[in-house]
Amino acid sequence: MEKPVREILRRLAERSDDRAMPGSAKGMPITWAADPFKMLISTVLSQRTRDESTHAASGRLFGRYDTPQKLMSAPLEEVEELIRPVNFHKGKARAIIEISRILTERHGGEVPKTVEELDALPLVGRKTATCVLSYAYDLDYICVDTHVHRISNRIGLVRTTTPDRTEEELMDVVPRDLWRSVNELLVRFGQEVCTPLRPKHDICPIREFCDLYLEEQEGKGRA
């Protein structure tokens, strides 16, 4: 069945509002999310890393180096130490110094505003690029991470096997004015309700629209 996307996102926003933490966006302090450089670097640090470790590492790093011009000249060993709680911290330290150098030398110290230019930076893929563009520049992109990919497929908004295809299909079914909301709403929902292993159907405000839930109910009815 065709999904009432606007209603689904409205209900997720309603439950999110009830639990909203002031001053955060994508789980990050709002000052980082609003600064394209800090948003970009934090998102690279967050890859395969828990939020708490990302926040701790980002806070320490930006306390010392808060611009590309400063970070490009930072000693590698010191940056490794500052970001140590994150996974793959050595590779990420090298990458963020190199990103800072490229931003400074090729982009006038600014974070570029296109997926293609961002995608060309070390450890920056499409997901990181669309997150930065939507959160820091308020541009119309759908940032598809593991939560958005999983939940969109469970509900039946899309039928895909990769995040890139999910992004393309979501752009067809989600009204454009809601693209930027998708990531924040689904990430929080995915952490608290529609979790990877045991989704909490019993407290889910959108289960009547969810293919996975409806299929499970149908299966139980047949058993």
207 binds ligand SF4 (CB under 6 A): yes
Binding mask of the shown chain, residues 159 to 198, with x at each position contacting ligand SF4 by CB under 6 A: ----------------------------------xx----
Q: Do 48 and 88 contact (CB within 8 A), yes or no? A: yes
Question: C-beta of 128: minimal distance to ligand SF4 in Å?
Answer: 25
Smallest distance from the beta carbon of 56 to ligand SF4, in angstroms?
A: 30
**What's the closest the beta carbon of residue 11 comes to ligand SF4, in angstroms?**
10
Distances in whole angstroms, Cα of residue 144 to Cα of each of 50, 65, 70: 17, 29, 31
Long-range contacts of 132-135 (CB under 8 A, 24+ apart): 132/36, 132/39, 132/40, 132/43, 134/179, 134/180, 134/183, 135/25, 135/26, 135/33, 135/39, 135/180, 135/183
Kindly identify the residues of this chain, within the stretch 135-164, that bind ligand SF4 according to CB under 6 A: 151, 154-155
Given the complex with ligand SF4, which of 180 and 207 has the nearer CB atom?
207
Residue from the set 10, 200, 217, 223 that interacts with ligand SF4 by CB under 6 A: 200
> What token pair was written down for 13?
């926003």
Residues 115-134 touching ligand SF4, rule: CB under 6 A, are none
Q: Which CB sits closer to ligand SF4, 133 or 193? A: 193
CB neighbour list of residue 49: distance below 8 Å, 6 or more residues apart: 85, 86, 87
Spatial separation of the C-alpha atoms in residues 82 and 200, rounded to whole Å: 37
Two tokens at 125? 């893929």
Binding residues for ligand SF4, how many (CB under 6 A)?
A: 14
- Collapsing DSSP to helix, strand or coil, 54 comes out as helix
Q: Given candidates 213, 215, 217, 219, which one binds ligand SF4 under the rule CB under 6 A?
A: 213
Q: Nearer Cβ to ligand SF4, position 93 or 206?
A: 206
Classified as helix, coil or strand, 25 is: strand
Kindly identify the residues of this chain, within the stretch 75-104, that bind ligand SF4 according to CB under 6 A.
none
* Binding span for ligand SF4 by CB under 6 A among 23-31, 78-86, 129-137, 201-209: 201-209
Structure-token pair, residue 69:
């011009």
Task: Give me the residue label for tokens 């939560």.
Answer: 147
Q: Which residues bind ligand SF4 (CB under 6 A)?
A: 151, 154-155, 193-194, 199-201, 204, 206-207, 210, 212-213
